[in-house]
Structure 1
Amino acid sequence: MIFIQGLWLFIALASLSGFSVILPVPWGAVFFFHLIWIQIVRTHNRKLVFKALTVYILSILAGLWSHSTHITHLKASDTSFHMLFQNGPSIDGNLLKAKVFLPEKKERLVLQYTIPSQMKKAELQRTIRPGTECIAEGKLSEPEKNRNENLFNYKFYLEEENIHWTFKAGSLDFCKQGKTGMAEKIEALREKGMEQVQKTFIPATVPYAEALLFGDSSNFDDQQYAMFQRLGVVHLLAISGLQVNILAYGLFFILIRLGFTRESSRAVLLLILPIYAIICGSNPPVVRAVFMSMLLLGSKKNMLSGLDALSISFLVCMFYNPCLLFNIGFQLSFLVSLSILLSSRTILARQSNALVNMMKISLVSQVVSLPILMYSFFQISVISLLTNLIFVPFYSFLLTPLILINFVLSLICDVKGLTMILHPLFFLLSNLLTILIKAEEIIAEQFNQKWAVLVTGKPCVFLLLGLFACVFLFYILWEKGYKLWKAGIPFLVLMTGFILFQTFNPFGEVTFIDIGQGDSILIKLPFNRGIYLIDTGGEVSFEQENWEKRLHQFHVGNDILIPYLKSKGIRKIDKLILTHSDQDHIGAARELMKEIGIQTLYISPNAWRKPLMYQTVKAAVHERIPIERIKAGYSWKNASGFFLIVSPLTDVYEGNNSSLVLYAAFGGETWLFTGDLEKKGEERLLKAYNIQANILKAGHHGSRTASSEKFIEQIKPKLAVISAGKNNRFGHPHQEVLDTLNSHHVLILRTDQMGAVHYRFFQNHGTFSVEFP
């Protein structure tokens, strides 16, 4: 056959180039993917070229068909739906979330429901299962695009799954079990399995058991999950291809020992593996591994190689859903598998020592993952090679089998009423996990977050392709016998050049980050002359009962501010200016201090006497960050500009009117950043200084308590930026302020309507832009 012995790889790559023409892939990447045709033609195999061309055309047609079917028939005015839960919902505190199917509309949407009472929560936990049908009333809304550059695009993520609406339900009633198909029955089996884990396992081991048996890592708290990310081993909390292979070969061995023939053993596995994929949550790495295993098991006389099976799996996944190409798990799973398979006959075949080969496999996996990690997460773990060598064997060959044995025995003993005899096994599992967690914590403590990861920033598409080319060159040079450090020189040179450019970029930028209702302003001067952050934003929390509290809370710092700074390659902030002690201005400061280096923290006199600022200062002392109390008259300058604090004028702390107000001249403009300064503070400022500013950050989010007629008249701004949350409960900005600014012909840019506001400049010339023009 023409496709045997690796030629399926050419077909898969030809398909990739075809899909890239239709999918929203940058043209640089499209060109890069089409380079494979040079190699296909060079094979001089007409049958291969013809079949590759056929698959290429079919891929374009499949992409067009997929695009034409990604449409919605719903309207914003629709308020009531009959919905089917194909999977169990996620219930976290008082929030229920699920992707539900609308049988009458033949469409899926994201359901969000705030549970009103503990009794209602118990009812929903008891009644909603895969196959449950409910009636919900509420409001449809379109998912928004990014409100800040580079961050997670929720709208695009949902569109990949052909979901175009989120539905915020006001009521969720009349729930009953409907007709269930095979998929719903398997999903229900998965739900019962997780309930069995929660019922029988020691609480500390439950998140690990759910993650390693069912692919559900939602019960890990955010701090624990962040520790795994810092160590570069977060993939261990998901079911990997390695675990699927261990299970498949383990079951095959057991069946043979039980007297099954090889053919019947393969038939049993071919039946079990698809069910296992659904039970594990059907995530792309598991689907890839299961499909590969099924192909290899089903091929006669080993006619398919591992490379062929991987290529066919890729083809099937892409034709099933072309948008999987944008799934990070899909990308990493196929790239890592491809690199290991291509290395198996050369790099890995040179050494018979198992430990050395394990180190090589880890290195191969880490290197090929770097460009994707840089592009998606803006950082790479510098200790992941070490931590993977330590923890992968423990999780794959010890912890996972032990959890599986405990689970199977718990099912057997539950039926026979012998659960008491499992206590020693659960005790062993708990102690093993305690040792592992302790080891992880010790390593995490030794490698502080600020240097356990290397913040790289987000590379552009052309740099990303260059990095992949350098990875490819690395493998070629390594295969030819070059030493590792020599083989890695092109990659290291390119990555170092990128990081240096990010750091010493000749262009400057000011960003009014959209952090919701609050302030956070980044000033990034050219040539690394200064990186200043004015306020951090922060979410306002309210008292809740225990049943309402969520395991996964939204945090402005961890979910918006820190990822945004890292996407810009920022590892250190020279000056963190906290204007005053309100939650919506400094609430995320403590999160920031743990992740990003701070050279100096600036606060207004006696602001530390307020509880929140006191806790912030205390955290800064713990992180050994110098603290300066400053007021009007404090200034600094450099080659890029001049900066002067013009308020407060006294040491008496008066809340909003004691906000640190910064006047600055840089980038060809003059700026006034006012914090939450109100009219009383504005009057004092006008008496003390005779200043004008082209750009005004409107005080107090556009509240009527600030931006007085007299203040605007004297400052004479050409443009005002109002930082406020979309649909905020305070009604900011107030119409009175908007009228005042309009009457003075001031151009208004608002984060609530436009998302983040940017000013990018070179020397003394710059332009403003917004996320939503």
Structure 2
Amino acid sequence: MVYSVIAAISSVLGLVFILKGPSLSFYIVCIALLLLLCMHVKSIRINGLIAVSFFSLYAGIGTLAEARHVSVYSGDETVIDATIHSLVYVDGDSLSMKVKSIQHEMIQVHGFIESEAQQAFLRTLAPGDLCRIEGKLRSPRSPTNFYQFNYKTFLYEQNIHWIMTPNLSSLTCKSSSSGFYNKIQAFRSQQIKQIVEQAEESSAGIIVALVFGERMFVEKDVLRAYQSLGVIHLLAVSGLHVGLVVSVLFFILLRSGITRERALELLCISLPIYMIIAGGAPSVVRASFMTIVVLLFLRFKQTVPPLISITAVFLLYLALKPFALFQLGFQLSFLTSFVLILSAPIIMNRYSHNIARLAAVTTLAQLASLPLILLSFYRFSLLSLLLNLIYIPFISFVVLPLAFLGVLCSLILPSNINLPFLLLEMTVPPVHEWLVRLDGFSLFTVLTGKPNAVALFGSILLFTASILLWEAGKRGWWKLLICGLLWIVISQWAGPFLKKEAVVTMLDVGQGDSFIIELPRRREVYVIDAGGTLHFSNEKWRERSSTYDVGRDVVVDYLRAKGIRKVDTLILTHGHMDHIGGAFALADEVPIKKLLYSAGTVEGEFEQALLRELYKKGTKIHFVSKGDAWRAQSSRFIVLSPSGDEQDLNNRSIVLFAEIEGVRLLFTGDLEEEGERVLIQTFPDLQADILKVGHHGSKTSTTEAFITQVQPNMGLISAGRNNRFNHPHPEVTERLFDHNIQVIRTDLEGAVQLHLYQEKMKIIFSSYKKAEQQD
């Protein structure tokens, strides 16, 4: 048993060392291996030999994988002949699919659909179709914000180096039945389309997720609820599904007169086909291959310990796909499986009641996965354990069997008499509605932020010690468990309050503005504008089920990663969509104590709706104008504009002067030339160290007279890449450079943090700037 664990850990170390280099995760795994070796001193020589052998073997595998991880394309190609290699996902006016070129390289395709007829044509495409695609290749972009999901790395780990933006009007495809894999994928695609068309939207998503391993059709609010409440794993195809399929097929084969030996052989042949149909995720591959190993041993009347089986599958998987090690699905699937297999004998012997066993399994799985969950999602639900105890039986014994039966019935029956689908339509929507409502109670969600090394390592040690004490039958195991939870929460929550510096962050929200101010010791948190995405079309066919919201996907994500649980003051400079559009999502996800809004008539419908929504949520609303001011400890804030009678909305922007840790900052919203002229006339002594350049660097802002008086050392420009307004204007940037002002632009450098302390400033850029410099 120990040999298997040492081999698995050593292989992980070898891959991490080669593919990622020494890191926190590398050293944590190193310490785990050393502790394991020290626990078995008598056989330390053999254990050491196994560790060195597997480390060296997988270091070699990693080196070979890295050498092969290159593209055959230069990026200048405009025509690609390729085979569709995934589901063709059409969502409103957007297209997404993976294709495999004739040079055997995978390419991610993202396209914009121009017409309803084009959309209808794309819906007819299926995996295996041969296509000639004209378009542009571009390298995936590195994250432009702190803590942002690294889509470039995600694609790289799948050996995808390019994203193609196709000219869909010239796309030509033809059906192809060549290749066994393509035939299975085409069948899978057809069945998914049929279910989505036949079943009600409220139940179709979970049917497709449970049977075919695709979550993209699950309603977005339901999917978020599953994720945040800690039950998302129930939508993943795993051992439960494989066990159900194998059991039913084995029963049918035996009843058909086939011998036990032949039935086992047929099951071994059938499971790889099922893996493809079920989506080929790490959890289904793990469960399928473990089942194949067990079936083969049964065929020859032998037994195999589960730990040996999972270790063999783990090592084989990593040998074939080394980069899978860094995928969250792979990590969660194998980590929880290892823990449960090691603990299974104790659970079975110690607990006789099924509910007690389920509680023990669920608790162990939650503990094992919690550090990984916090690293990715920054929070956990206090209801997770209870919900798992309720939802595991519901999904396992009600929804899953009905989903499988419904899919089988859909092959021969119309949807209006498909009894399993009808039963699912009666049971699933109320349960999902309850789940979504439960997700709305933030009281049960513990937001930790991204764990620091101390919190992460300490909690892992305490959780491990708790599990070991439980396995040994000691009574105090639960005390260490509680200590582990308290450690990670307290160490995360206390960290910001020990920091004496203030942090000002300019987020990259595209063509818009959003700034986060954290005062020293995080006494208060201010958000100045929340960005926003402009939508220009109301055509029904263009509507997407999954839309990008800069407030939710950038601002809220950043606040969560920082562990910020509330916003003390939201300052919306004026009513344009690129400044207030993300505020709805922000208000939905984060409590906002106070809103500062520019004085004057609120004319826009969106503005009015937003103010009503904030008022309903208990936010205190203040309309501010020139002269309003406040202090927060040693920091001071003064509203310099508007007066409230400005006719132009841009010139009605809140202009905020802030002095934080002795550093003077001037936030100007979308103030234009006329507003700047009034400002410097009203405040002839106005100066600032840092200027938030007005109106994204528009030609109509940041005049010579304004810069000459304010005399900033740094100019911050928030603008979208290749935006249609040509912001910032070359004349503005040239003017800033002429005054020796350091210019930081989100379109070129991504997000930036300014750490302020005792009149000194430290600038930290997101990984985007470093990546662009390397490229």
TM norm structure 2: 0.94
Instruction: Report the Cα distance in structure 1 between the residues aligned to 2:400 and 2:260, rounded to whole angstroms.
Output: 26
Secondary structure at the aligned position of 2:43 is classed as coil
Amino acid across the alignment from 1:703? S
Residue 136 (structure 2) aligns with: 139
Q: Would the aligned equivalents of 2:3 and 2:50 in 1 still touch at CA under 8 Å? A: no
Residue 468 (structure 1) aligns with: 460
Q: 1:116 aligns with which of 94, 114, 117?
A: 114
How far is the alpha carbon of 1:221 from its aligned partner? 2.9
Amino acid across the alignment from 1:465? F
Q: Would the aligned equivalents of 1:634 and 1:644 in 2 still touch at CA under 8 Å? A: yes
Q: 1:263 aligns with which of 261, 264, 267?
A: 261
How far is the alpha carbon of 1:518 from its aligned partner? 0.3
Residue 629 (structure 1) aligns with: 623
Residue 319 (structure 2) aligns with: 319
Q: How does 1:702-717 map to 2 (within 5 A)?
A: 702-717=697-712
Structure 1 pair 681–636 and aligned structure 2 pair: CA distance change class (3 A): same
Q: Would the aligned equivalents of 2:204 and 2:218 in 1 still touch at CA under 8 Å? A: no
Instruction: Please give the per-residue CA displacement for 1:237-292, whole angstroms capped at 9, x wherever unaligned.
Output: 22233222233234334444544443223212211211111111101111111111
Residue 17 (structure 1) aligns with: 13
Residue 632 (structure 2) aligns with: 638
Instruction: Report the Cα distance in structure 2 between the residues aligned to 1:247 and 1:483, rounded to whole angstroms.
Output: 41
How far is the alpha carbon of 1:404 from its aligned partner? 0.9
Q: Would the aligned equivalents of 1:604 and 1:631 in 2 still touch at CA under 8 Å? A: yes
Alignment identity in percent?
A: 34
Amino acid across the alignment from 1:76? G
Structure 1 pair 197–707 and aligned structure 2 pair: CA distance change class (3 A): same
Instruction: Report the Cα distance in structure 1 between the residues aligned to 2:693 and 2:257, rounded to whole angstroms.
Output: 79
Is 1:29 the counterpart of 2:25 in the alignment?
yes
More moved, 710-719 vs 222-231: 222-231
Instruction: Report the Cα distance in structure 2 between the residues aligned to 1:45 and 1:117, rounded to whole angstroms.
Output: 68
Instruction: Please give the per-residue CA displacement for 1:207-229, whole angstroms capped at 9, x wherever unaligned.
Output: 12111110111112322222222
Q: Would the aligned equivalents of 2:713 and 2:741 in 1 still touch at CA under 8 Å? A: yes
Q: Would the aligned equivalents of 1:515 and 1:537 in 2 still touch at CA under 8 Å? A: yes
Q: How does 1:202-241 map to 2 (within 5 A)?
A: 202-241=200-239
Amino acid across the alignment from 1:251? L
Is 1:698 the counterpart of 2:693 in the alignment?
yes
Misfit runs of 4+, over 6 Å: none
Q: 1:557 aligns with which of 547, 551, 564?
A: 551
How far is the alpha carbon of 1:61 from its aligned partner? 0.4
Residue 487 (structure 1) aligns with: 480
Instruction: Report the Cα distance in structure 1 between the residues aligned to 2:694 and 2:197, rounded to whole angstroms.
Output: 54
Residue 746 (structure 1) aligns with: 741
Is 1:567 the counterpart of 2:561 in the alignment?
yes
Residue 661 (structure 1) aligns with: 655
Instruction: Report the Cα distance in structure 1 between the residues aligned to 2:415 and 2:452, rounded to whole angstroms.
Output: 58
Instruction: Report the Cα distance in structure 1 between the residues aligned to 2:82 and 2:415, rounded to whole angstroms.
Output: 42
Instruction: Report the Cα distance in structure 1 between the residues aligned to 2:619 and 2:302, rounded to whole angstroms.
Output: 62
Q: How does 1:71-150 map to 2 (within 5 A)?
A: 71-103=70-102, 105-126=103-124, 128-150=125-147
Instruction: Please give the per-residue CA displacement for 1:520-565, whole angstroms capped at 9, x wherever unaligned.
Output: 0000112122110000001001114222221111111222111111
Secondary structure at the aligned position of 2:546 is classed as coil
Q: Would the aligned equivalents of 1:478 and 1:487 in 2 still touch at CA under 8 Å? A: no
Secondary structure at the aligned position of 1:768 is classed as strand
Amino acid across the alignment from 2:166? A
Is 1:585 the counterpart of 2:579 in the alignment?
yes
Instruction: Report the Cα distance in structure 2 between the residues aligned to 1:425 and 1:113, rounded to whole angstroms.
Output: 36
How far is the alpha carbon of 1:500 from its aligned partner? 2.3
Instruction: Report the Cα distance in structure 2 between the residues aligned to 1:202 and 1:712, rounded to whole angstroms.
Output: 60
Structure 1 pair 38–455 and aligned structure 2 pair: CA distance change class (3 A): closer
Instruction: Please give the per-residue CA displacement for 1:176-233, whole angstroms capped at 9, x wherever unaligned.
Output: 1346222111111211221332344344321121111101111123222222223322
Instruction: Report the Cα distance in structure 2 between the residues aligned to 1:610 and 1:439, rounded to whole angstroms.
Output: 35
Q: Would the aligned equivalents of 1:214 and 1:280 in 2 still touch at CA under 8 Å? A: yes
Structure 1, unaligned stretches of length 5 or more? none
Amino acid across the alignment from 1:129? A
Q: Would the aligned equivalents of 1:581 and 1:607 in 2 still touch at CA under 8 Å? A: no
Residue 332 (structure 2) aligns with: 332
How far is the alpha carbon of 1:490 from its aligned partner? 3.5
Instruction: Report the Cα distance in structure 2 between the residues aligned to 1:408 and 1:293, rounded to whole angstroms.
Output: 23
The number of residue pairs the alignment matches comes to 759
Residue 451 (structure 2) aligns with: 459
Structure 2, unaligned stretches of length 5 or more? 771-775
Structure 1 pair 421–370 and aligned structure 2 pair: CA distance change class (3 A): closer
How far is the alpha carbon of 1:382 from its aligned partner? 2.0
Could you say what the CA RMSD is over the residues aligned between the two structures, in angstroms? 2.0
Q: Would the aligned equivalents of 1:571 and 1:597 in 2 still touch at CA under 8 Å? A: yes
Instruction: Report the Cα distance in structure 2 between the residues aligned to 1:621 and 1:469, rounded to whole angstroms.
Output: 45
Instruction: Report the Cα distance in structure 2 between the residues aligned to 1:348 and 1:509, rounded to whole angstroms.
Output: 52
Residue 477 (structure 1) aligns with: 469
Structure 1 pair 505–724 and aligned structure 2 pair: CA distance change class (3 A): farther
Q: Would the aligned equivalents of 1:84 and 1:102 in 2 still touch at CA under 8 Å? A: yes
Secondary structure at the aligned position of 2:262 is classed as helix
Instruction: Report the Cα distance in structure 2 between the residues aligned to 1:79 and 1:161, rounded to whole angstroms.
Output: 22
Instruction: Report the Cα distance in structure 1 between the residues aligned to 2:244 and 2:512, rounded to whole angstroms.
Output: 50
Residue 44 (structure 1) aligns with: 43
Instruction: Please give the per-residue CA displacement for 1:132-189, whole angstroms capped at 9, x wherever unaligned.
Output: 1111111111111110111100111111011111111124423113462221111112
Instruction: Report the Cα distance in structure 2 between the residues aligned to 1:121 and 1:489, rounded to whole angstroms.
Output: 53
Q: 2:196 aligns with which of 195, 198, 202?
A: 198
Is 1:7 the counterpart of 2:3 in the alignment?
yes
Q: Would the aligned equivalents of 1:86 and 1:131 in 2 still touch at CA under 8 Å? A: yes
How far is the alpha carbon of 1:435 from its aligned partner? 3.5
Amino acid across the alignment from 2:745? R
Instruction: Report the Cα distance in structure 2 between the residues aligned to 1:488 and 1:508, rounded to whole angstroms.
Output: 34
Structure 1 pair 203–720 and aligned structure 2 pair: CA distance change class (3 A): closer
Amino acid across the alignment from 2:693? A
Q: 2:590 aligns with which of 578, 591, 596?
A: 596
Q: Would the aligned equivalents of 1:562 and 1:595 in 2 still touch at CA under 8 Å? A: yes
Residue 157 (structure 2) aligns with: 160
